[in-house]
Chains A and B, each alone.
Chain A
Amino acid sequence: MINRSVCRFLPQTFDKILIANRGEIACRVIKTCKKMGIKTVAVHSDVDSSAVHVKMADEAVCVGPAPTNKSYLNMDAIMDAIRATGAQAVHPGYGFLSENKEFAKRLAAEDVTFIGPDTHAIQAMGDKIESKLIAKAAQVNTIPGFDGVVKTAEEAVKIAQDIGYPVMIKASAGGGGKGMRISWNDEETREGFRFSSQEAASSFGDDRLLIEKYIDNPRHIEIQVLADKHGNALWLNERECSIQRRNQKVVEEAPSTFLDPTTRRAMGEQAVQLAKAVQYSSAGTVEFLVDSNRNFYFLEMNTRLQVEHPITECITGLDLVEQMIRVAKGYQLKHKQEDIPINGWAIESRVYAEDPYKSFGLPSIGRLSQYQEPINLSKVRVDSGIQEGSDISIYYDPMISKLVTYGATRAEALARMEDALDNYVIRGVTHNIPLLREIITHPRFISGDISTNFLPEVYPDGFKGHQLEADKRRELLASAAALYITTQLRSQKVLGSLRVPSSPIECNHWELCVELGEGHHSMEVTKSGNVYTVEVDGGKVEVSGQWNLASPLLPLTINGTDRMLQFKLRVLSKLAAELNSYMPEKVPEDTSSILRSPMPGTVVAVSVKPGDTVAEGQEICVIEAMKMQNSLTASTPQCAVHYVPHSPHSHTFIH
């Protein structure tokens, strides 16, 4: 009853929607459903039984054990859940079954609405080869490449040679950058073929591949389209998604700094032509590669809601999930192309549980022992499906959240993003916030001079963390010293009745030493009132703040500037630091003869057996984690294999 009254201005759509997904996107869809007065059904694997999306939904059904092919990809179980709950429609989110035509067919057979495009559009666009043919026919610019099925490695090599290196190899059925490999020679093509076909088989049950010309130094810019079942289609402007690592997006923004209105319009119109060519309905994304001369080439069309859709929502004011639900119910689009604005600027950072110091991000797992989103800040949107205490497991995508900030200008949105990243508290897993912050404050990014090669170009030796300038370092050191003294002074504040009267020694001058990286910094601190004055590295810093020693966030005023700090530094008194210099360095155990997986995962293939002698660089085994396959190779020349793992999940062994 309440729902009805809330939504009396919204058109009647569905009574109950099942969301065939998990994590942030499931939560995202549920939010709009709630707004529209629609009841929601969550599905979940057994390990997700207390996940946020399960708690948010009105009903929840367990569809199987943790591995995705037994739960979130388990169509039988999901169909059962639909029948059991009487859901009238299914929103698939992204990934999983979102672009699975078989699933869409089965829903149609049972008269359940699939909130997405029709089966034929999924089929046409889901197949990378077919989609290019259709795009060509619809007069959309396409990349030179091979449109066909590749059966053997040698065939792949021949095709690659015909197109001319570099080429890109990926699974036909796969979306996004997953499973995409770039090859510069025949050897890499063979390897790429092997990995891509294996990944294609394990993720999609379809080992067809696509090989095409690889455009060097491109930008990845995509157009959001929205179409209804009555032949109307709109383009909702672009999203710039060039900041990628291993072909997965990290930072996105809308609009793009690179497009001029003419190019934008041309891209938008071609995207709409393509949508119309396949009688597309619902929200979809047409991805383009844009070269430095603003030539754009059709890459693929994603027939689903895209991860980075929030930034489009921010600048257009549309709720894409709401539009998808309306369209699925058969309503006409409410908007005309001229109604679609670009209001301000929006940036999205994908916050991942991964170690940014290893290849810009290798998955890490663990329990979020502390977790606090910066949602108290204005014009910040956080789409997440986890909370404090949630586990990031090897089974699913390691994304923690999508952090979106917006503002009237790009500079404003960027400033907010910096603030939001500083206010984000994540403990228990390694996360990529240091990298995100580094990207959005990098001069090249700020100037808009980016391409998909941004990360490897800016950090050719990998990301090494933020390099502090002298004054910033002083500020950090001074804050650490002030925090240390505050903590020490607090220990003196023993409450209650002490047998011996407490008379803290009045002291307002300290000599300390802070360890930062490899360096030690001596400093002198004086306190007067609430202000600490710290002399360090030849400079003077004044620090004051409301010290809450229980909070992971430390809002401080440093030399008159407000800053939000989170850090962990070792501070020693002068005496302790002096004595510490006598302490012996403990030599870590020599582990060079042990091959350790860089991340937790499942061993999917072992290429050696005990007793084998392997050469440096030879593949030992293949680890799969979060749908990525990684080859582990021997690091020392000429060694014998002593032990190989037998069971999946084991991830260390000696050779």
Chain B
Amino acid sequence: AVRARPPLAPVKHGAVAAAVPQTNLRRDCRWYSVSHLSVKERIDKKRTAALVGGGQKRIDAQHKRGKLTARERVELLLDPESFVESDMFVEHRCSDFGMEQDSNKVTGRTHASDLCNIMDQAMTVGAPVIGLNDSGGARIQEGVESLAGYADIFLRNVLASGVVPQISLIMGPCAGGAVYSPALTDFTFMVKDTSYLFITGPDVVKSVTNEDVTQEELGGAKTHTTVSGVAHHAFENDVEALLNMREFFNFLPLSNQDPAPIRESHDPSDRLVPSLDTIVPFETTKAYDMLDIIQTIVDERDFFEIMPNYAKNIVVGFARMNGRTVGIVGNQPKVASGCLDINSSVKGARFVRFCDAFNIPIITFVDVPGFLPGTAQEYGGIIRHGAKLLYAFAEATVPKITVITRKAYGGAYDVMSSKHLRGDVNYAWPSAEVAVMGAKGAVQIIFRGKENQAEAEAEYVEKFANPFPAAVRGFVDDIIEPSTTRKKICRDLEVLASKKQVNPWKKHANIPL
């Protein structure tokens, strides 16, 4: 699938060379030298040995654990023959300790330097970086050298951030310092049941806090994709993960210098979607599934959702419109009425910033009743975190198209890619209600203690619970028939393809972290 694109530079955490146990190689080498093989023959032998990796026994052991070897992973991720392993002949320096060598551990300076070389190269040519992580953490025996190795990688991650897309696929334990590399990359995907991410494992947790917790509970795929929000997606197994990675990769541009890719599309850009005319329920309190809207509008119902199981009150992910990659952000009325809270704000903000960094237009579907009230949210810093989403939308200079499907209340209206934050095209469906708050709440405040609340409520609905007040002020560009939404967005994206907008010069902005 990625054949037509320039070769990506894979970061092979635990490059395959790592798999060659020093002892065997040495013995082989010795043997070669006594046999007086030609240099070419020796190179060939070594290449074969490197390809076999840690030997059939180790390969079998890895398979037994339900995992693939590093080489198999890389082969599956990339098209056959499109991948030339770099530094195949680099030998592992640290096997003298007699440690069990896993074929895919990031275990030391040598490998860190491999990684750094590759990442430097990726940044130079502008190619995405995909890391396949399967590492037990720093090797104590290597001492400070391994810490330095980590830091070298972290620095590369930070420097590459926003320059080339960086994706981490966690395919085994990834503990200790090693976790910060995936944390610094744009997307972290995990494999269910075989991958873990934690700062310290269950044993250390037990000794320090006396908590009993399993690896899975502490840092398994489920924990990180539903509770912590550390990972963006979880897949059933190595094969699923790698195949999905290929699909995902097809959405991304190569670097911040490249436009969002446009794939040949068979889905007519002017396709009408009649089902959207009835999707928003008549009763404003009734929920519907924002995913239904997204799937019918985008090309071929193909939507790659990011963090589908975390902060589900906001939906984010990638799709294509007339072949062009777009980022989709939508409030999800089905979950917590689609309100914005700490987690959903952070989830949305990070996604919006990724899109902005990599020239991916953002389409926002708004049905938001407001920010979630309460002490939990206030103590947790909803002001600070909510500001992140506001900040992200405001600073984004990529094409921004907004569709208000129903509620757009209060500050949350402002936040959700409103006209005021330089939204390029802001549409409202006839069911839209752009207002400071809902009718009931508003009337209770305005007419506190007065009678005829019902009457006042009806008047409020008539006056404010519709798209007109916003439309007459130019805060929405048009009130559109929902069925025409796809057609309109596709057309707008064509026009906005040449959008150029530059923020004032700064060393870097200061998002409220």
Where the two chains meet, the residues of A that have a C-beta atom closer than 8 Å to any C-beta of B are 46, 49-50, 367, 369-370, 387-390, 488, 490-500, 502-505, 547-551, 572, 575-576, 579-580, 582-584, 586
Contact = CB atoms under 8 A, between A and B. Distances in A.
A497 B250 contact: no
Contact of B266 (A499, A550, A580): A550
Contacts of A496: 259, 261-262
A367 to B, nearest CB: 7
Given A548-B266, A550-B300, A586-B193, A494 B274 contact: no
A498 B3 CA distance: 13
B23 to A, nearest CB: 27
Contacts, number: 112
Nearest to B194: A584
Given A367-B292, A494-B5, A550-B267, A583 B239 contact: yes
A572 B239 CA distance: 10
Nearest to B68: A579
Interface in B1-40: 1-6
10 contacts: A367-B289, A369-B292, A389-B278, A488-B1, A493-B264, A548-B266, A549-B266, A549-B300, A572-B239, A582-B68
Given A389-B274, A550-B265, A492 B300 contact: no
A50 B282 contact: yes
Interface in B121-143: 126
B263 A389 contact: no
B63 interface: yes
Contact of A369 (B82, B250, B254, B295): B295
Contacts of A495: 262-264, 323
A626 B67 CA distance: 47
Contacts of A575: 75-76, 80
Given A49-B282, A583-B238, A551 B266 contact: yes
A499 B236 CA distance: 35
B205 interface: no
Given A46-B282, A579-B68, A583-B240, 12 more contacts: A50-B278, A369-B296, A492-B4, A494-B262, A495-B262, A500-B6, A502-B5, A505-B82, A550-B265, A550-B268, A550-B299, A576-B243
Contacts of A547: 266
Nearest to B125: A500
Nearest to A586: B236
Contacts of B292: 367, 369, 389
B80 A582 contact: no
A493 to B, nearest CB: 4
Given A389-B275, A389-B279, A576 B68 contact: no
A491 B275 contact: no
B234 to A, nearest CB: 13
A492 B1 contact: yes
B66 interface: yes
Contacts of A494: 4-5, 261-263
A504 B4 contact: yes
Contacts of B80: 575
Contacts of B4: 491-494, 502-504
Given A495-B264, A579-B76, A388 B275 contact: yes
Nearest to B79: A505
Given A388-B275, A389-B279, A583-B66, A493 B263 contact: yes
Contact of A582 (B66, B265, B295, B301): B66
Interface string B279-293: 100110000010010
Contact of A584 (B237, B243, B261, B267): B237
A620 B492 CA distance: 58
B300 A491 contact: no
B250 to A, nearest CB: 6
A491 B76 CA distance: 16
A226 to B, nearest CB: 37
Contacts of A549: 266, 300
A500 to B, nearest CB: 4
What secondary structure prevails in chain A residues at the interface with B?
A: loop
Given A494-B261, A503-B4, A579 B275 contact: no
Nearest to B265: A550
Interface string B69-82: 00010011001101
A580 B282 contact: no
A582 B63 CA distance: 6
Interface in B383-411: none
Contacts of B239: 572, 576, 579-580, 583
Contacts of B228: none
Given A50-B282, A584-B237, A388 B68 contact: no
Contact of A490 (B82, B254, B263): B263
Nearest to B243: A576
A496 B283 CA distance: 44
Interface in B253-273: 254, 257-259, 261-268
A367 B261 CA distance: 32
A570 to B, nearest CB: 10
Nearest to B237: A583
A110 B263 CA distance: 65
Contacts of B282: 46, 49-50
B52 to A, nearest CB: 16
Contacts of A584: 66, 193, 237
B276 interface: yes
Contact of A499 (B72, B257, B275): B257
Contact of B259 (A390, A497, A572, A579): A497
Contact of A505 (B3, B72, B263): B3
A548 to B, nearest CB: 5
B254 A499 contact: yes
A389 B276 contact: yes
Nearest to B289: A367
Contact of B250 (A390, A491, A504, A582): A491
A31 to B, nearest CB: 19
B274 A387 contact: yes
Contacts of A490: 263-264
A389 B239 CA distance: 34
A584 B323 CA distance: 36
Nearest to B73: A579
Contacts of A586: 192-193, 236
Contacts of B66: 582-584
Nearest to A584: B66
Nearest to A54: B278
Nearest to A503: B4
B275 A46 contact: no
B308 to A, nearest CB: 17
A188 B218 CA distance: 55
A256 B237 CA distance: 55
B266 A504 contact: no
Contacts of B254: 499-500
A46 B263 contact: no
B238 to A, nearest CB: 7
A208 to B, nearest CB: 39
A492 B82 CA distance: 14
Contacts of B3: 492, 504-505
A50 B482 CA distance: 14
A43 to B, nearest CB: 16
A50 B237 CA distance: 43
Contacts of B5: 494, 498, 500, 502
Interface string B284-316: 000001001001100111000000000000000
A575 B282 CA distance: 51
